[in-house]
Chain A
Amino acid sequence: MGKSNISNNIRKLRFLNGEMTQEQLAEKVGVTRQTIIAIESAKYSPSLELAFRIARVFGVPLEEVFSYEAEDKTS
């Protein structure tokens, strides 16, 4: 529970796409604004399909939107 290992650049990409609002992005990918808020704050990791839909809205590859940081289990 809590923050996931997947970070994202959605806030930055929204800004670069003419200050797109969370509501506009939510409408384009077919989810609620609350879900976009949860994804942006790394409280929810989206499904692969939703991740691709978000990347397509911004016209960038998936890895430019999301990045995965593996947990360091040695420490």
Chain B
Amino acid sequence: MSFQQKNITVSLVSFILILGFYSLRVIQMIGNESFTSGNVFWLWGIIIGLAVVVTIIGTILTHIVSAVIEVVRTGKDDPKIEDIEDERDQLIDLKGTKVTYTVYSLGVFAAMLTFVFGLQPLVMFSLLILAGLVAQIIGDVFRLVLYRRGF
């Protein structure tokens, strides 16, 4: 598994966990009847903060773990990690980004539809962040599929 694949896998796991946390909190809020604008925007902040922090920490951890594995495998003190992004990585990233944006666009469209059905703006905002998380997960899965199956 290349460094880029490890990085995508870490991102995928992180975003699945964040999606789980988000879904759980929204379900709890609806159950407690605390699904208010204040709580939803507070959750928005937490999710965006988590996504940024987890992505940074994930990349750093992937570097450290890759270096440790390389030291154990080769026995050399100065491990060489293939973290360069070549044309194949860039192409896969672009294709993944295209899928992410397509899914997110559909999510935004679905969120806008909630206005048509006369639902609260809170529902739209909740769907927007849900669409963002789901789009990121689907994009990462698509990238991993491209790495595995080729294109």
Contact = CB atoms under 8 A, between A and B. Distances in A.
B84 A32 contact: yes
Contact of A43 (B5, B86, B87, B149): B149
A2 B86 contact: no
Given A32-B82, A33-B82, A38 B88 contact: yes
A47 to B, nearest CB: 5
A54 to B, nearest CB: 12
Given A1-B150, A2-B149, A32 B87 contact: no
A50 interface: yes
Interface residues of B, number: 16
Interface string A17-50: 0000000000000111111001001111011001
B149 A32 contact: no
The A interface is mostly helix, strand or loop, or mixed, namely loop
B146 interface: yes
Interface string B115-151: 0000000000000000000000000000001110111
Nearest to B84: A32
B149 A31 contact: no
A3 interface: yes
A35 B147 CA distance: 10
A44 B82 contact: no
A74 to B, nearest CB: 26
Contact of A38 (B3, B82, B150): B150
A10 to B, nearest CB: 15
Given A32-B2, A32-B82, A33-B82, A50 B87 contact: yes
Interface of A: 1-4, 30-35, 38, 41-44, 46-47, 50
28 contacts: A1-B145, A1-B146, A1-B149, A1-B150, A4-B150, A30-B86, A31-B84, A31-B86, A31-B88, A32-B2, A32-B3, A32-B4, A32-B86, A32-B88, A32-B89, A34-B2, A34-B88, A34-B147, A35-B86, A35-B87, A42-B150, A43-B149, A43-B150, A44-B88, A44-B150, A44-B151, A46-B88, A50-B87
